[in-house]
Each structure stands twice: as C-alpha cells, then as structure tokens.
Structure 1
Amino acid sequence: MTDASITRAANRERTALDRFLAVVPVASAALVILMILFWEAAVRKTPTIFVDELKWAQLSRAIATTGHAAQRGEPASFKSLYSFLIAPCWWLGSTGAAYTAIKYLNLVVMASAAVPIAYLARRLVSPTAAVVAGLGTLCTSAFFYAPFLLPEVLAYPTFCLCAYLCVRALAGDGRTWTIAAIVACAGAVLVRSQLVCVGAAFAVAGAVLWLTGPRGKRLRSGWSRSDQLGAAVLTVGALIFANALISHHSNEWAVVTQNYQGKLWHLALEAGSALVIGLGVLPAIAGLSSLWLPERKDDRTWRAFAAFLGASILAFGAYTGIKAAYLSVTFGTFVEERNLIYLAPLLIVGAVVYFSAHRPSWVTLGASTAVCGWLLLAYGYQLGYPYFEAPGYGIAVMANRAFHWDQPTIRIGLFAALAIAFAVCLVPFARTRVDAARPALLGLAALGVAVWGLAGEVTSARGSQQGADQLAANLPQPLDWVDQLTGGHGVTYLGQQIGPDIGLSLTEFWNRSIEHIWTLDGTAPGPGPTLTPDLARTDGTLRYDPGLDYVLADNGIKLIGRPIETGGSLTLLRISHPWRLQEAYYGRSSDGWIADRHDATYAYFGPARHGVLSIDVSRTGFCANSAPPTPVTIRIGPVALNSQRAARVAKATMVRHATLHSCKHIPIQLRTTAPVAVDVHVETLLRATDYGISDSRMLGAQFGGSFTPTR
C-alpha cells in the first residue's frame, strides 16, 4: 500500500465523518421538534371538537368494520381519504388503543410535509437552507391540529406535495411533472374540498407564466391598441362568466360576493393576521419579499415558485374570506386561520429564498413590511385558550396568560417583533459589512422563529389539553364503560331534550357498541341519522323497536328492563322486546329545569297500576329575592297521545293553580292509577343572567316526578 492510497483512504474517512457530524445538528433539531409534537399528542386524553371528530370516527370505524363508510349504521359518503387513512387503527380492539394510534399516526403523516417542502426549497437554495425550510414546516401553528381527528392532518402534507409537483411542472421540467401535478391536484380534492384552491392556484400561475413568458410576449408583440382593449374586455367578460358559473354551483360564493364583500375582505385579512403572528412575523415578511427578486428573474424555477406562491395567496385568501363571511351570516363570526395554514410552508420556503439572494428588492421589502405591519397592528387578537379556528394567536395567548399583557401591550410587543424582523431582512443588503456574522445572525433568527412558533403551538396545545382533561373528568369512568358491560353488543341511546351535548358525543365516541342515538322529542344531535321512537300505545310501548337488547337511557327516561349500571344521568339497561317506557319526561332539561320553554310533561306508564304520584315544582335553585314570582298550572290525568304521539294530559282529573316564588317549591302527592301524566305550565320565564346567575337560559321552574307502587 502506498502513501498516496493511505492518504486517499484517510480523506474518505474524514469526509464520511464530516458528513455524519453535519447531520447531527439537523437530526437533533428534528428530534427535539418531534418530541414536542409527540408530547402534544400523548397528553390529549379525549376528542373535544364535535361534531367533527365524532364524524371522522364514525366513518373510519365503519370502513374498518365493513369496508364502506357509514354513520350510525347508515351508508354515507367517505367525505375524505382521511377516513381510509385512520381506519386500520380501529382494528386494534379497544377504543383507547385505537385513539392513541390515530394520534401518533396523525403526527407522523403531518410531519411528512417537511419532505416535499425540503425538496421544493432545494430547487431554489442550498441544501442547508432547504433543511431549514423543512424543519420550519414542523414549527407552524398547523401542527396544533395534529392530535385531532380532522382531515387537515392529511390535507397539510397533501398540499405540500402538490406544491412541489406544481412548481416542477410550472418550471418546465417535463410532461411527466405536469401530469403528476394535475393528478395530484385532482386527488387533493378527495382529501379536503378546500384543496380545490391548489388546482386553481396551479391554473392561475400557469396562465401568468405563459402571459409573461416568451410565447405570451410574442403573441402580444403585434397587438394594436384596439387589440389590447379587446383583450381586456374579453378578460372582464371571462371573469364575469366565471363568477356566474361559480355562483350557480356555490351558494356561499353567491351570497358573499353579491352582498358581503366588506366582510370577505375584513375576515380574510384578519385570518392573515393570525397566520403572520403564528409564523413569527419574519417568515411572512421575507416570504412575501421573495415574490420579486430582480437577480432571479431569468431563473425559471424561481419564476414558477413566485407565481405559485402569489396564486396560492390569492386562492386560499379568497376561499378563507368567503367561508368566514358566510359563517358570520349563518352561524357565527370566527377568525378562520384554519383555512390559511397551507400558506405557511410556502412562505417559509420564500423566506429562505429571500435570505439566499445577493441583492433583494427594496421596494418589495418595503411593501411586504407594510402589509405585515397592517395585518399585525390593525386587528385585534383572539385570546381564547385555545382559539381553535386560529391557533396562530397562541403566542399572544401565552403573553396574555403568562405575563398578563392586554391587547394594547400585545400590539406593542408585535410592533417590536415587526421592527426586529425588518432589521433582520436588511442583512442581505449589508452583505459586505456583516459577511462574517451573517450565518450566525440568520441562524439566531431561524432559532428565534422556531421557538416563537413552537411556544405558540404548545400554548394552544396546553389549552386544548386542559379542556380535554375537564371533559374526561366529567364522564363516567372508565370512558368505555358501556362497551365493557355489554361485551360489545349493540346499544341504543334514548333520551330527550338533548341538544348539542358534548358529553353524549364523547360517550358515543368512546363506546363503539352505541349504534343508535334516538330521542323521544327529536332533539338527538348529529352527526349521522337519528330517529324518534313515538309511543305506540299509552302503556309506554314504543314503535320502531331497534331489536337491540341494551338501552342507554338518559335525562329522566326509564324503560322496563334490568338496570345494569348508572353513570351520571345515564342508565344502562337490558330490556325485553317490544321495548316499553316505564317513565319519561318531555321538555325538561337534564338538570331538571323547564328552560327556554313554558311547558313540560312527566308520565308514568307502568308496570305498576296503583301507587302514589309525587310531584315537585320549585325554584329552589334560583334564590334571587328581586325576581318576580310566576303563576304555575299543574294538570294531572290519564296518559293520552298528542298529534306527535308523545304523552300528554287530555282530560285532567286534577288541576292546581299556584304562584311560585324564588327559592320555594310546590309539592303534590296523591294516590292514582297508572298510566298517568302531569303537565306543568310556567307563565313567566326569567333571564338568569339578569340576576347574577351564570346561566344563559330563560328559566321557568325545576320539575320532578315519581311514582311509588302500592299493593
């Protein structure tokens, strides 16, 4: 062996070692970020967002069991490929194991977004800068949604993959990339309907690049002024036609674009404000500044990226504004950053492109800083803990909770962040003066942005964790108690006056044996089909027997059968068929109040025939001395059926008129024969908040009844 060969081998060893050591910081950073994200998933004990999370659980469970999507046993559209992604997790057996697997799978899938973003950035910048972009993708507020059963989990990496393919296609890298981009954009809609914006952005970017490219210039080179005017008129006509076509197929588009343009702009910009805050300001300014870099105007990859970034901002911004404006009219006003999270990875790539430039544009930097400054300072900040629709506010929430900053102080802090971000964006202009310190400065800036993003994300995650802990603590334990007691056999839930009950949704989620959610009064919540099993006869026999041997009765409903276990207001029974009510309430809330209505009914159907009926109408839970009394009418008589086949008193055998005062009650006891019903009418309802009571309902009276059999 010669000295030269020994030297070459040593050099090869040194090169391999150098490469390994170069990977260590990157791997360490990725490991730290992933540990934080896995912690967020681990501490989340239960779903909290209903009806969304329950819907995706229903669909994926059905796919895992039958291969077809369904909700509560009825066939349904799979709605998103996300349903198929998480379906295998339900094969694990227990709901707890499946839920844990879904959370970790969600995280891995969502984190995969870093791969196409790093590849996209590598087309534009150095390998080191591309790695920074990939890691930055893991630090955005979008990862707040990773532990949730939501299609955003799959939509986020899907968008990132589409972005990579679209930029390759727009850069003219070949027909294969164009076909791949078209297929990916079409498939993205199957993940989340909002990703139609990807295809729109691809089309708009392609049109812009063609018009500004050699072919477009050649086409326009011979145009006269009248030709240009005609083209402008045709363009306006095409836009009008497109607006009419979209309005015909989208009610949201038609309503908002014709009547609420102001709301559209305001809510879209407010969502943009949350996005800029969540990104840490710097990537937003630098990312927007990358839209025009004079030195790269002949770089077809940069041109493709800039066109796609600009078109994506337009498409997703319009979608967000229209959706938020429509929701504000039909449901409630929210800051919908949730629909803008897809722009964050592109802005991060734009930021590394900007800082890789030798001489960016002063004009673009000034305009970008002005836009971001407006977004930061012109709007208020949602300080919910967390604010689900806009997790980008997480850092503002942290400042509010940890340092007791109010809105004006937060605004000052964000202005300081804006000034620092602008100063960092000046580094490329001072290349010769700070050349030696440039890597350290940019490294510190990247670290600061990552810490900012993760701090806000962790704050939002901790808020969500606390909410989940509280919900889980208020449920019967163990959470899957119905499944355990029934051995997985089918159960029908039966209640009344339910409304949007999160507790019921959680019970349905954790107990897969619950196949039906039915109510006596049609108040069963979604998602999925429900049914109202009307009374067939006055002895309590119900129609539409589900044929299942177990019933989970709620809110004062009792059936003839063998009670197995009681958890809170829920009672699990094993029944015989046909199923038959023992007693039930109509119009009474789960806490015993007649609320937001004047009338309620109690009925005892059997099996006992003779006994003592006890009735109590009270306001013992409302002790406001200044509250006026209310007249109350109590009617007692045999059970009859109204037009909706619900129990009522047709011919009263006893009527009592009384005046009900605050903190007082009206007791009644009498011997009677079943089936018997009691109608209560409360004349005056009181707004509880007017008397310092934290209850948003209009309260009438507390109402309870029982029937004690006698021999």
Structure 2
Amino acid sequence: MSGSPPMPQRRGRSHDVSPRSSLVARFFRRIPVWLWLLAIVVASADFRLLLAGGVAAPFIMVDEVIWAELGRGFADKGEPLVRGVAGPGYSVVYPLVISPAYALFDNLPRAYAAVKFINSVVMSLAAVPAYFLARRVVGQGLALLAALLAIAVPSLAYTGTVMTENVFYPLFLVVALVLVLLLERPTLVRVLLLAGLVALALETRIQAVAIVPAALLAPLVLALFQRRGVRETFSRYRALYGVFVALGLLALVLQLVTGRSTQDLLGAYAPVGSASYGLGNALHYLAWHVEELALYVLVVPFAAAIVLLARARSLAPPLQAFLAALVSFTVCFVPIVAVFASRFSDRIEERNLFYLAPLLVIALLAWVELGAPRPRVLAPVAAGASALLVLLIPFDRFLTTSAISDTLMLLPWWSLQDHVGSGWVRPAALALALALAAAFLFVPRRYTVALPLLVFALWVLAVKPIWWGTHGFEHFARGSLFQGIRTVKTDWIDRTLPSGAEAAFIWTGRTDRLTVSENEFFNRDVGPVYYVASPTPGGLPETRIHIDRVTGAVTLPGHRPVLSRYVIADSSFEPDGKALARDNGWGITLWRVNPPLISAVRIDGLFPNDTWSGKNVTWIRRRCTPGLLLVSVSSDPSLFVAPQTIVAHTNGGKSTQVRLAPNGQAVLKVPLAPAPATGRCRVDFTVTPTAVPARVSPESTDRRVLGAHFNRFLYQPGARR
C-alpha cells in the first residue's frame, strides 16, 4: 500500500473501549449484550405495535393493497397474485413475510392486525445489525446506543402500514454490515454472502438496485482513503468485481435468451428505465433530497460525518471501511431516488432514503468515540453547511398531503405551520438548525455523548405529530377509511356473502376510488373489478364493461356477458337483483343477481368519473315499481354564493324541488310511478343556477358548466313519501 500508514484511533481496535466511553461500558458490562439487544427489540416491537393499533386502515394507495394482495396470494395459492392475476412483476420477500397472517386468519381485519404485529417485530430487528455495524468502529456502550437510535428513527412509523420498508430497513443494515466486513477483508465467502443479500434485497424492494453500484464503488473510495492505487485495489477486490460482473452478464444473457429487455429486470417498475428525465429538474430534486436528509438526522450526524470524511486518511482501517460504505451508499442512493422523484412523484422521497440515517448516526458515535475532534476551520464549516442545508428546504412546496406517506420529518413542521402560520416555519427551522450546529461545536468533549442522545430525544418528540397530529398517520388512516367504508364492520361484504361466493366490484367513477381499495383490502370475497369509463388509479388488473343504453345489458370485451351472481356497486349502477347489504354512507350495495348481469338504471347528465352535474340530469329505471327515489345532493361554496334550486319531474309530470344552500346538503325525495306503456320510471332534474369554474376563479382552467353534486341515488320500491 502506497503512502504513509493511517493514524490509529484513540480507542485502538473496535473491541477496545476508549476513556470517553468507559463509564457507559462499565454500566452495560454487567448485562450480556444479547440481553440488551433483546430488550431493545422487544420494547421497540411492543411500542410500535401499540402505535400501529391506532392505524384504522391502509392509506398509502395503491401500494398497501398490492402488498396485501401478494401476501394473500402466497397464503392462499402459493404464488404472488394481485386480484387473481399471477406474475405482476413485484418483489416477493415482504409478501412472503406477511403471508402467515393471511394463512392464519380468514378474517381480514384480524389478518391486518397480525401484519402490523409482524411489521413491528421485523422492523425492530434493525437494532441487531445496527449494533454489530456500530461495533466495528465504537465500543460496546455506544454500539448499544446505535441500536437504540436505529429503532428510534421516525420512519419506524411504517410498522403501521403494509409496506416493504418493514423488511428492507433491517435487511439494508445487514447488507451494510457485510459490505463493511468485505471491505476490511475481501474473502470469497463474504463476496458471495453480499451477492446473496443483494439478490434478497432486490426481491424485497427494487430500489436495492442502487446497492450494486455502491458495492462496486466502495473499494475505490476506501482506496482513496488509504492511498492505495487503482491496480492494487482491483487486485485486492478481484473476487467482488469478478462475481458481480459475472452475475450482471448472466442476468443480461438470460434477458436476451428469453426475449426480454434489460428494463424488464425492474419488474413492475420497468417504465422507470424507459422514461426521460430533465437534468435541471433532477438536480433540483437532488439538492432537496440532500437538504431533507440533513433535517431528518438533525444536522449533528451530518456535520460529524463531514469532519470524519475530511480526516479519513488519518483514521484506523475499520472506520475507513465504514466511511467508504457510507459514502458509497449515499452517492448511489440519493441521486437515484432524486431522479425518480423528479419524474414520477414530485415530492421528497424520504421514504426511500431514511435507511441512511443509522449510518450517519454511527458516524456521529464514531466521532464521539474519537474524542469529538473539532478542527478549527473544518468543524465550523461542517456545522454551518449542515445547518444551511436545512434552511434551503422549500417548506412551502413540500408541506402537502404527499408528505404524510413519504416525508415524515416534514410533518412536525406542518403541525407548527398550523399553529403559527407559514411565515414562521423557515425561521423556526433555522433556529433549530443553528442550535444543533452550536451544540456540535460547543458542547464540552466530555459530554458529547449527549449529542446522539439529543438526536434520540428529538426523534421521540417527532412521534406525536407523525402519529397523532392533524396530518399524522392515525388521522389520515381514519380519513381514508371514511372515504372508502362507512359501515361499522369493515368486512361487511364477507359477513354477508355465503361461504365460497365472491362478488364482482363495478367501478363507475362516481364515488371515491377508496370505496374499491378499502373494501377489497378488508374483504376476501371481493373478486374481479370492472370499470365503466376509466379504471381506478394505480394500474391494478381491471376489466372494462359496456352497458347497453337501451337494454341495460352489461358485457365484457368480445360481447361476453358478465356471469357473476353477486356484484358490488354504488347507487349510480343498480342491477336487476336483490340488495343484500348496503354501506349507507356511500350507497355501496352488495347485490344478488340472476346472470347475465343487467343494469336496471341509466343516469345521464353527470360528468365522467365525477358527481358533478350539468344543468340537467336524467335518471331512468327499467322494470320499475312504485316507490321513492332518494337523491343526496350538495353544492360548493367556492362556486355559488346564493342558494340553488333543483327541480325533479317524474315521467314528465309531477314535480318535486329542493332549495340548496352554497355549503349545504339535501335529500330530494321523488315519488315514483312507472309509465304504463314501458314499465319505466323517468326523473328529469334541472339545476339553477349553474356556474363555470374558470369564470368564477381566475386560477381555474375548468370550463365545464356545473350544477350540483349528485352524490347518491337510492331507489326504494314500495316506499311512500
């Protein structure tokens, strides 16, 4: 190896304990490490399970539905299925992990609770690899603190969701540990172990593709730290490069032999590989992701990592190997996530980067272990730059509902904005960042262990807004459930259908798409999903149906009849059959029908996939009997300042009307009597006045002539007014 040897660390080898951590080490030494780790994991799992119990329903759509469907597919059929369709190209490790919940419980609400139990245990296991990773560079006491910090990251909130983060987080830390071990001593066994873990990670989350370039880059970064030449580096790590290149070539050959493109390696995310990306926008997102990462770890670990990296050549080999892994993961993960966000999500994807937080925290602990070196120029620059990153975050752009699922560390600032106004968010962020930077610079060396404890305390404080705040998980989950199901029992469909039966879901676009997602999540017996005009968002398997305007016959592509004996639909689609159960909140009804399926109702005058009407709406029911039609209507105060009138004429004769306040709701009760010649009931609605949004608000581009929201139609045969 060329150049002078690195300066030894104060603590010597990783198993020695420095004077700075000796007091902590003596306190912990009386209890075995495995017992401390077990206590951390169990306490974390219990706490996370308690919190997850408050999440009433899935709300990250359609991701949670997909992973739940895949888990059910493995439990029921032994293969990954989404709505009964095999091979959708998604990763399979997480569905396999949660599949026992669906195998043990037929009742899906109970299976959902079991999934959250599995999540809480698996994600809390991240403490174990975090400990052993930290143990490479710090003493036992600080390594246990690293384990504690690893399960305190705000993103453990995802234990309340059916998401791959629950498995990928601990698995990523295992990968990081093995990579560091490989950098220290590159044996073939460690190379093969790393390759196997990368394959496992890829089958957990396709984002793991970033691990491959990180693993190949890390030896070069370490060579830079150790002043080793390129030729010597490739020679030392020839097993790593040989195995990974061979596996890469094998994957390409298999794709060519099977007639598939390299983009197909991304599975369901193949469009990511073929999309075009704007350089300027990607650079903006790169900056924003780095800035938010500094906020996530609360400045101090970022500053400590900068100081260590600047002095990397003088550090001991184990710490050099760890820093090489940290740099490689950061350099490979952040740009890939940022470029993806610039094209596909338009948000800060903290959810894809929080895995780096434990590595940065371990860097802080290593800095503490070294005696908290603060070079006269470098330390203020590192602290100032880390604080400045937080100040540069465009809070006004990203404090939106997308933060609830993807950018958790912005939720405390959103809660603050609700209390003090948007003008105070940036000054408050600056004050916190400067205070943390000052702590990094001025806390006495003997007390610098307080800095990681400060990070821990602030992460704990973030739990309240993330879980229980106005924009937190519990509130948003309840809102999602309300948008999808308003009955007391979320499994109301399974409770109604006879054993072995399944019901097709007819999606008309008139209600929230969550009426489909939430009901299929909580009910095993929801079968195929059919749509009338446009499919539900998310790209899940669905089939378009055609409804004949004259006969009401419902057909599939190829003019095939729909032969389902049970169907679920909102009130704008009423089959010729018997209603078995109804979600009165949305008017979603479970019907028993005599195949082939026929629509008994036709509604004209509503805009596609919307409840908005124009000036006129027509409701027609075939095979009608005397009764009542209940129509739930509402207005919009952003369009109307004066009351509206809705008049209903039955079969061109008798009229009924209702007066609707701008912010009001009403139920129009229309008596029905079939026309003797046709046996049909026809109701014509007229709304006055109407409005064009583009004329009311200069910011609107909507030029439709809008009347009122026709939220629900309920036909009650035999009922009287």
Give the secondary structure class of the aligned counterpart of 1:267: helix
Cα displacement string for residues 278-314 of structure 1 (whole angstroms, at most 9, x for unaligned residues): 32322222233332335743x3322221122112111
Relative distance call for 1:69 and 1:247 in structure 2 (3 A) is closer
**Post-superposition offset of 1:277:** 2.2
Alignment-derived partner of residue 118 in structure 2: 105
Relative distance call for 1:215 and 1:472 in structure 2 (3 A) is closer
In structure 1, the gaps of 5 or more residues are 1-14, 221-244, 432-437, 637-653
**Post-superposition offset of 1:158:** 1.6
- Total equivalences in the alignment: 630
Alignment-derived partner of residue 130 in structure 1: 143
Question: Is the contact made by 1:497 and 1:588 (CA closer than 8 Å) also made in structure 2?
Answer: no
Relative distance call for 1:27 and 1:422 in structure 2 (3 A) is farther
Within 1, Cα distance between the matches of 2:434 and 2:522? Answer: 49
Within 1, Cα distance between the matches of 2:231 and 2:385? Answer: 35
2:544 pairs with one of 517, 532, 538: 532
Alignment-derived partner of residue 518 in structure 1: 530
**Post-superposition offset of 1:551:** 1.6
Letter in 1 for 2:130: I
1:311 pairs with one of 305, 311, 328: 328
Give the secondary structure class of the aligned counterpart of 2:160: coil
In structure 2, the gaps of 5 or more residues are 1-25, 234-261, 663-667
Cα displacement string for residues 537-563 of structure 1 (whole angstroms, at most 9, x for unaligned residues): 843332344543222221322222222
**Post-superposition offset of 1:486:** 0.7
Within 2, Cα distance between the matches of 1:411 and 1:624? Answer: 34
Alignment-derived partner of residue 158 in structure 1: 171
Relative distance call for 1:266 and 1:630 in structure 2 (3 A) is farther
Relative distance call for 1:82 and 1:560 in structure 2 (3 A) is same
**Which is worse superposed, 93-102 or 533-542?**
533-542
**Post-superposition offset of 1:168:** 0.9
Within 2, Cα distance between the matches of 1:176 and 1:166? Answer: 12
**Post-superposition offset of 1:161:** 0.9
Letter in 2 for 1:311: S
Letter in 2 for 1:606: R
1:205 equivalent in alignment to 2:218: yes
2:520 pairs with one of 508, 533, 536: 508
**Post-superposition offset of 1:191:** 1.0
Question: Is the contact made by 2:646 and 2:660 (CA closer than 8 Å) also made in structure 1?
Answer: no
Within 1, Cα distance between the matches of 2:629 and 2:312? Answer: 86
1:79 pairs with one of 75, 80, 90: 90
Give the secondary structure class of the aligned counterpart of 1:673: coil
Within 2, Cα distance between the matches of 1:197 and 1:151? Answer: 16
Aligned runs of 1:494-643 on 2, under 5 Å?
494-498=506-510, 501-535=513-547, 538-543=550-555, 544-568=560-584, 569-585=587-603, 588=606, 593-595=611-613, 602-606=619-623
Within 1, Cα distance between the matches of 2:55 and 2:429? Answer: 30
Give the secondary structure class of the aligned counterpart of 1:700: coil
Relative distance call for 1:513 and 1:570 in structure 2 (3 A) is same
Letter in 1 for 2:308: S
1:699 pairs with one of 686, 706, 717: 706
Letter in 2 for 1:450: F
Q: CA RMSD in A?
A: 4.5
Cα displacement string for residues 125-159 of structure 1 (whole angstroms, at most 9, x for unaligned residues): 11111111111111112212221111111111121
Aligned runs of 1:383-532 on 2, under 5 Å?
383-384=399-400, 387-400=404-417, 404-426=419-441, 431=445, 438=446, 441-462=447-468, 463-472=472-481, 475-488=486-499, 489-498=501-510, 501-532=513-544
Question: Is the contact made by 1:493 and 1:516 (CA closer than 8 Å) also made in structure 2?
Answer: yes
Cα displacement string for residues 631-663 of structure 1 (whole angstroms, at most 9, x for unaligned residues): 999999xxxxxxxxxxxxxxxxx89xxxx9987
Cα displacement string for residues 104-144 of structure 1 (whole angstroms, at most 9, x for unaligned residues): 11121111112112111111111111111111111112212
**Post-superposition offset of 1:698:** 6.4
Task: Compute the TM-score of the two structures, normalised by the length of structure 2.
Answer: 0.75
Question: Is the contact made by 2:374 and 2:441 (CA closer than 8 Å) also made in structure 1?
Answer: no
Relative distance call for 1:78 and 1:487 in structure 2 (3 A) is farther
Alignment-derived partner of residue 286 in structure 2: 268
Letter in 2 for 1:286: A
Letter in 1 for 2:475: Q
Task: Compute the TM-score of the two structures, normalised by the length of structure 1.
Answer: 0.76
Relative distance call for 1:599 and 1:306 in structure 2 (3 A) is farther
Within 1, Cα distance between the matches of 2:565 and 2:202? Answer: 42
Alignment-derived partner of residue 70 in structure 2: 59
1:673 equivalent in alignment to 2:689: no
Within 1, Cα distance between the matches of 2:540 and 2:274? Answer: 28
Letter in 1 for 2:140: P
Within 2, Cα distance between the matches of 1:96 and 1:707? Answer: 32
Relative distance call for 1:44 and 1:679 in structure 2 (3 A) is same
Within 1, Cα distance between the matches of 2:456 and 2:440? Answer: 17
Alignment-derived partner of residue 42 in structure 1: 53
**Post-superposition offset of 1:177:** 1.2
Alignment-derived partner of residue 372 in structure 1: 386
Question: Is the contact made by 2:65 and 2:521 (CA closer than 8 Å) also made in structure 1?
Answer: yes
Question: Is the contact made by 1:604 and 1:677 (CA closer than 8 Å) also made in structure 2?
Answer: yes
Relative distance call for 1:65 and 1:358 in structure 2 (3 A) is same
Alignment-derived partner of residue 224 in structure 1: none
Give the secondary structure class of the aligned counterpart of 2:453: helix
Within 1, Cα distance between the matches of 2:221 and 2:450? Answer: 37
**Post-superposition offset of 1:251:** 6.5
Cα displacement string for residues 337-379 of structure 1 (whole angstroms, at most 9, x for unaligned residues): 1221111111011111111114736255344323312211122
Within 1, Cα distance between the matches of 2:298 and 2:282? Answer: 25
1:279 equivalent in alignment to 2:308: no
